[in-house]
Structure 1
Amino acid sequence: MRALKIISQTRPILRNWPAEAAGRKNMLLLIQLRWIAAAGQLFTILIVHYGMGIRLPLLVMMIVPVAATGLNLGSLAVLRRRQTVANAELFLALLFDVVALTIQLYLSGGATNPFIYLYLLQVVLGAILLDTLSAWAIVFATSVFAAILAKFYWPLVLPTALAESLFEMHIIGAWICFALIAVLLVVFVTRINRNLQARDARLADMRQRAAEEDHIVRMGLLASGAAHELGTPLSSLAVILNDWKRMPALAAQPGIIGEIEEMQVAVQRCKTILSGILLSSGEARGEAPTIISIRIFLDYIVKEWSVAHAGVEVDYDNSADAGLEIVADPVLKQVIYNVLDNASEASPDWISLSVDQQGDLLRLVVRDDGPGFAPGMLENLGKPYQSSKGKQGGGLGLFLVLNVMRKLGGEVTAENGVMGGAIVTLLFPLDTLGVRRGDGDVR
């Protein structure tokens, strides 16, 4: 139930996170577009004022690109500390660009300026980047500003030579504006679409993970329920076997006593497994922890597994730092058990386990000399019920391993060896294992 609660609390965050992460990339695109706009405005103002002899209010018009530069620098400073940008922030940034364009148009002829069609660029970007209400707000703002500029603007005083070819100048300016809008739309809309596609892919991946976690929760509830159900008959079997062992008629027969002892070992093994299931499903990480050397912890796991699988030769090499201690979590033990079990089923005579450290990562590599993974299995690594064993319900081992490793911030990779067999690599971040040095310093 605790896992169900955590997943239900996490889902709203997962739904919003991809959109806001894509918003950060789109904000960077708006910043780039604003750099282009500021540079273009400066270039155009200087050409028109000094090259064409059309007098413009230079001091006032220079304020807009300076303000745009300041906004860009401030936005970049904020984005360095943040990974998400909300829709409202994108809306305000786009509204600033609309207002800046309006000011420049007001000071350079208003609606008679052919560059008034740059409003369409803002409308298209708003339709792509913003939610429906914000996009319509941009449409309303640009429409109102365009109407105002048709009535109120700073009239341009043209030299006589230019006044005679005013229509031709307007046509040339309209063509330049059209070409500029077309180029910018292709460049930036293409990049925005890539951001949105990446967001959708991330969202689909998160939904898949949520579905897989739901699947794990259901299996965990079923497993814990079955463990409770099986606990009573196993206890009864243990009592009955103990009574049989003490019966004089059976005690006189060494062969039967040996079989009873084997059954007692098997029952005890089943009870240990059920206890591990209940502990893993009911005890949160960090509750009643056991601190143990990382090397001793792994040595014990391999020894215990080898005893239970006496027919499998285990080539074991552990070069982990013996001075590092971890919080011994039953979940970690079960992860390693699952990987070893999978390897032994594919290669019942021999498997190998090597352990080493790579910086802040603990690496476990399990190899076998079985048939290896089919290409389709490698493509769907960790998907439930993907198995080469042909058993109903198979394929859950790596599925559980992958999801537990994901919770720990770790990584699972699988590949086929050059000489055959399969290789599964587990990478554990040491900080998630509660690692500390033997002198008590926590890493």
Structure 2
Amino acid sequence: MSNQRDIIAQSASFRPERADWLRLRTLIFQRWMASFGQLAALVVATRYYGMQLPLGLCFLAVGLAIIANLLSIFLFPQNKRLSETEAMLTLLFDLAQLCFLLFLTGGLTNPFALLVLAPVTVSASALALRSTLIIGAMAAGFVTLIGLFNVPLRLADGRIFQIPGLFTFGFWLSLLIGIAFLGLYSRRVATEMRSMSDALLATQMALAREQKLTDLGGVVAAAAHELGTPLATIKLISSEMIDELADHPDLAEDARLIREQANRCRDILRSMGKAGKDDLLLRQAPLATVLQEAAEPHMARGIEVIFSMAGSGPPPVVLRRPELIHGLRNLVQNAVDFARSKVWVDAQFTPEHITLRIIDDGEGFPAQVLGRIGDPFVRSRRDEQDLDRRPEYEGMGLGLFIAKTLLERTGAELSFANAADPFLSPEERPARSGAIVEVTWQAADIVAETAGGLGENQLFDQ
């Protein structure tokens, strides 16, 4: 459990703040495009359509955007990333500049008023909720103001360009709905993408940690094997020295100390790992052994973990991959966390398939999140009983997401269900009444090839 929280904390430390993902150069480029588009629209409206516009003020509005871009280019480096406040102020400036230009060119009778949605969409995608609400509220306020107060458009003959009031109201209302809808939609999509990115980062870190632990076990095994011979030699020579130094008690005592320390080194190495180099036995193991290894960290937490094996033929020998160990360990941890007293780990195997079911006797998955289990950062409301039982539990669904992602990398298919109807009374509930996680593999995906023997152990890469 602490390992999972460490991974979450470490992955969070690698993530920049949300606004720090937004580069100033991106907004500068966007502003250049807007400025050239505004200039082109002014030229086309006056030269080809003969519309009478306050060109002095219009060019002043466009010039403000150009000056802001030039200042940004000369004052800040190209790789400048904006803070939350800087990004919000930059987008507010763009919004105010656009609305000022719309005020000078007919307000909501100008079809380019639709571009008011752009700063809101950028904010919803890249900034925090508070900044997005501020920019959205300002956009709605500006749209309302330019709808009520604006410099009307005049055609070439001096007539004021007018549209029906109902159309103006409809355009105003559609802009307000667009601000709310696009802001909400963009933020929801961006939030899900960020959540998935964060969860995948945590998954990669979990896999890297498991791989390091596996490699460390191999290194320890190699050290135990390689040091066994010199330690045995030291022990033999020290024993002979003790016999030969019977007449010299001080030297004999030193020889005994050497032998004791050699025995101590042997015991330490023996406790740290089994003999071997890059031991091929570490790369594959019987299915029951792999299940025991995955569950071992959670078998001393007061919950009984019961294993069962059933199938045709001898139990399979599977590839002992880090993804497999860590994924199964997370599933067992989740079952132990929510079990009352027992967890069942049932394995069934045939020559074609291997199926694993992990069942607990707890309350099962919450009905409101059952369909979303396996997605990252799925939260559910926790009652006081759950808080007392799991005060450290974050409730984000990240552990199940990591387990699902890692196991799917081994070719597994996962399904989640509840073993019993949650509305049954305690007396009516069966023993296996909690959550069920079923993991199914094609045997060819994880079963090790053992027909030709393991082969010779290989030295570790230097």
Asked if Structure 1 and Structure 2 have the same fold, meaning a TM-score greater than 0.5 normalized by the shorter chain, the answer is no
Higher helix share: 1
Task: Give the TM-score, by structure 1 length.
Answer: 0.42
Higher RCO (CA-CA < 8 Å; seq separation 6+):
2
Q: Report the TM-score when normalising by structure 2.
A: 0.41
